[in-house]
Structure formats: C-alpha cells, structure tokens
Structure 1
Amino acid sequence: MGSERRERMKALGAHLRGLRAEAGLTGAVLAQRAGVGQPTVSKVETGRMVPSFDVLDRLSRALGLDDSSAREVHDLLVAIEAAADAGLAPDDGGAAGAVLDDAVRSARLVRSFQCVVLPAILQSAEYARHVFQSAPNSTPETVGRAVAARVERQSVLYEPGRESVFVLTEAVLRTWPGTPTLMLAQLDRLLAVESLSSVRLGVIPWRRAVPVLPRHGFTLCDQQAVIVEAFTGEQMLTDLVEVAAYEETFDQFERAAVFGDDVRELLLRVMKEFRDLGDTVTR
C-alpha cells in the first residue's frame, strides 16, 4: 500500500476513535448502534480497513455527529479514495484485490457478478493464491500476505445482519487454475457456502443465453458503490447513476441464473467432470 494512503487511513481511524471516546462508547456498542460488525469498527479505527461511504455514514449517525463533523470524516474518506485513484498500490502487501476486499468487508448487502474468475469472497486459499500470483510484480511474500488477508475477510459471510448474492456464468466453474484437485476443493467450498441462509448462489448455465454480453466482473456494495474489475486493477464507482445502471444489469443476470437444487446439481456435475479429468491426468 502507498504510504500516503496508509497515513490517510490511519488519520481517519484515529479521528473516529477520538470521536467514539468523546461519545463515551465502546467499540462493541458503536458497532451495534451502527449495524456493523465489531471487527469492522476495530479495523477502521486502527487504519487497517477502508470503510464504504455507507458504513461511514452509519458510524457517523451512531456517534451522533453534527453536519460539520460528519462532513469532516466524509472528507477524510474522500481523501483516501483520491489517494487510491492516484495510482497508489493496493493493500495486502502490494498484491491486487484490497479495494474489493475492504469494500465487501464493510457492506451489509453484497451482490457480485462474475464471468471468468470466482468472486473474491468465495475463493479458496489455493485458488486465491493463483489469482494473486498473476498480479504484476507479485512476490511469494506479498502473495502469502494477500491470501491470508483474503481468507480472513471471508468471515463476513458468517456475520449476522449481512446478505450476499452471487451470480456466476458456468464458464467461471470451468475456467480453472492449478489442478483438477484444486477445483474439486473449490467447488466443494461453493456447495458449503450455498447452504448458508445469508447467501444466494446462482449460476447461468451455458445452455441459457445471457441477457447482456458481460465485459467484466463487478461487485455492488450496498447501494452506494460498485467495484469494477479489470486486468490492470479495480475501480470503485460511487456515482449513483452508475451504481444504478450496474444494479439493473445485475438484476438481469440474476433473473437468468438457476438457484437452489438446480445450482447444486450443476456443481455436483462439474465436480464429477473434474474428478474424471483428474483421473485422466494421473494415468
């Protein structure tokens, strides 16, 4: 992470921590009032996570900030985003993916569409390792830190009060790094996640035409931001018109997908094919 962005994150965290102390609140009470996880409050206050604008607004309301104070913390977050837009390297020791991971970590409603690579929050450790190794200028050290951070952030799936909707094309299940064994473990993880009451996992089968030709993956965080993913990095869009356009597109993909028993049947079928492929490779 760039030093300027890191310092701005620390400044925002220290400011929020001071405001919480002035209000006489513990981190747990603030988290409860704001409707966010206590780890989110802790990581924001220590400068280890960038909150979404929605999360920052909820924290501001929970702290009872007046308009002037709320604008001040909002401006600090704008400064952090400006540092990221200026081309500073992402978090996780310089490997790609921190903007997305942090935004997802602080959102209550996550909706992600992917047409090639699995959503970050669903990736197994080994799958994520291949993702980070493909990033420019990656090293074993930065990849290791990035994988550990990504796996830790996936705990958001199990936190109460959150909802996640994932829509994938069948191509995502069949575009694989590493070995068939890696993908068997990854697909088994998808089956486990699909069973969670807070998660909806859908797949658009290849037999169905897509409603819109996908150009890239994207993730909606609440109704405040969308993370657009490309080869060169990630871009966070907060313009409400743009966010609304991505919401409409996501709705179209969601209507084309299968869920529940149908998606479980599809996952098991693809797992069998990877198992057969693995047997072929080892012969």
Structure 2
Amino acid sequence: MGSERRERMKVLGARLRALRADAGLTGAALAQQAGVGQPTVSKVENGRMVPSLDVLDRLSRGLGLDESTVGEVRELLAAVEAAVETGSGSDGDISAGLVVDEAVRGARLVRSFQCVVLPAMLQSAEYARHVFLTSPDLNPEAVGRAVAARVERQSLLYEPGRESVFVLTEAVLRTWPGAPSLMLAQLDRLLAVESLDTVRLGVIPWTRPVPVLPRHGFTLCDRRSVVVEAFPSERVSTETDDLARYEEMFSRFEGAALFGGEARDLLMQVMGEFRELETAVTQ
C-alpha cells in the first residue's frame, strides 16, 4: 500500500504541475500567489509531500482554477488520503507516523490529548527519532527524513493566528526512551513551548483521577477532523459522530489538567527527578 500511496502522490503532483504550466506561472510565482513556501510547491509537485486541504485550496486559488478543476484535484487528494488511512505500513520512502503531521498543517486550532507518547508537535528531534525507530519498515535514512519533516512542521507553533492546546497525563512525562538526558532536553523544550502565546500546555497529575480511562491519544484539527493515534497506525476521521465524541473527551481531559504555573511546577519537579536519575546512572 505504501507504493500505491506514493503513486497517487505523484499523480496529484503531476496534475498540479501541469496546471501551473498551463497558467504560465513559475513555482516561485505560484507560491507567492498562494501564500505558501516555494519548497511546499516543489515538494507537492514532485510527489514528496501530501498537501493539507487548506494548502491545496490555496494552490487552486493561486492557479485560478474553475470549480470543476478544483473538484478534480480535491478528489486526487482524497485518493492519497484514502491510501494513508487504509495502508498497513511504510516502504521506507513515505514514512509511517506522519499522518498527524500532515493533518495539522492546515488547521488553525489544534487540540491534542496524549496518555503515553508526547504530541508530535512537541517532540524534540531525538525523542522523535525513537518514535520512528519503533516502525519496523523504516530504514535509517527514512527515519532521518521523517524526523526532519516532523521538526520542520513544528514551526507552525510560532505562527500568529494559530492556537494549539495540548493535554498530557503525567505518565507521558515519565514514559521515556533512550537516556535520562534525552528527557531533560525534552522537558526543557516543553517549558519553552509552554511560554508561547499561541500554546496552552496542560498536564493531568497522577494525584488527580482521570475523568475517563484513556485508551489512546488523539488530535483534533479545527472542528473538521480527528486523528486517532492507535498502535501501530493512525486513522483520520471526519465523521460527525467521531468528532462529537472526541470533542467531548478532550473537554473532559482539559478540565482535569493543570495549566500555567502549576503545570510548569510539575514539569520542573519531573526534571529534578530525571537529574537525580541521570546522576545515578552515570555513577
């Protein structure tokens, strides 16, 4: 299925490239008119990036496409996304685990709940590397590309007009790969991100009961879709019932979380314990 997805990405990219040629635009000109980066245009046209619906619509407006052609390219994107949802793995070129990264690209409001693994948008490069290493189908080169793509996507956290809300259980902070030094760097990143005006970071401490026993993490993208992050794959749903259910669940988890100074105090406490652990390991 990985090869099928790749072929569908190439078909979408080739069609957009042909439409750009018909419009007499360079890649740089289209990027400027669409309000996206030139690398985005290049990667999409070459079948190396799946655009979000928002990005695709921007490109369509930049190209001046009529309603019929807009519908055509949207169908091509839907075919790519269908391959992502039904795929059972990765071939090492199109990295597994990047579904949520693609889904958040066009969202202005991102809300993510996690009970074991840190949200993709908050992961340090080394933490993300360990996440992708758990996929048996990714070779080292593909892992490197996946990590780079994930870190690059995190620049969205700093964009004005976007809002990101993350709710974690304390277990997320204490479930760690690698060495204690990895988590010290990761927790330091969480403290830095928590200070952003565009981000709210909440933690449900172990001293509080959870309102519902969580079974997996999930990410709501605006009020249009939810990425259900079950092991070993991710699934995107736009079903009204699913969205309503996960909206309610997120609200309940959010209500149980600590924010602001209380969340920072908890992060600092966990960091202190990791420093003690690091000292014990190195002795």
The 10-residue stretch of structure 1 (5-14 or 82-91) with the greater mean CA deviation from structure 2: 82-91
| Structure 2 unaligned blocks of 5 or more | none
Residues 108, 163 of structure 2: 8 Å contact kept? yes
Identity, % of aligned pairs? 71
Aligned to 2:32: 29
Name the CA distance, whole Å, in 2 between partners of 1:72 and 1:193.
39
Which stretch shifts more, 63-72 or 160-169? 63-72
Query: How many Å separate the matches in 1 of 2:222 and 2:57?
Result: 12
Q: For residue 13 of structure 1, report the CA deviation from its aligned partner.
A: 2.8
Aligned residues of 1:31 and 1:38 also touching (Cα < 8 A): no
Structure 2 equivalent of residue 199 of structure 1:
199
Deviations 1:63-104 (A, max 9, x none): 554432222112111111222234263486354312122222
| Residues in 2 aligned to 1:29 and 1:245: alpha-carbon distance in whole angstroms | 39
Instruction: Measure the CA separation in 2 of the matches of 1:46 and 1:162.
Output: 28
- Deviation, 1:40, is 4.5
Does the 8 Å CA contact 1:92/1:149 hold for their aligned counterparts?
Answer: no
Whether the 8 Å contact between 1:5 and 1:88 is mirrored in structure 2 is no
Deviation of 1:193 (Å): 0.9
Alignment correspondent of 1:143: 143
- Inter-partner Cα distance in structure 2 for 1:27 and 1:258: 44
Aligned partner letter, 1:79: A
Give TM-score, length-normalised by structure 2: 0.87
Instruction: Render the CA deviation track for 1:185-224: whole Å, top value 9, x for unaligned.
Output: 0000111111111111111111122122111001112222
AA aligned opposite 1:16: L
What does residue 220 of structure 1 align with?
220
* Shift, 1:273, TM fit: 0.8
Q: CA separation in 1, counterparts of 2:139 and 2:48?
A: 21
**3-state SS, counterpart of residue 236 of structure 1:** strand
2: CA distance between counterparts of 1:90 and 1:140? 13
- Number of aligned residue pairs: 280
Where structure 1 has 5 or more consecutive residues not aligned to the other structure, the ranges are none
Write out aligned runs for 1:1-283 (5 A).
2-20=2-20, 26-32=29-35, 40-57=40-57, 59-60=59-60, 65-87=65-87, 89-90=89-90, 93=93, 95-283=95-283
How far has the Cα of 1:58 moved from its partner? Answer: 5.2
Q: TM-score, normalised by structure 1?
A: 0.87
Do the aligned partners of 2:9 and 2:80 also contact (CA within 8 Å) in 1?
Answer: yes
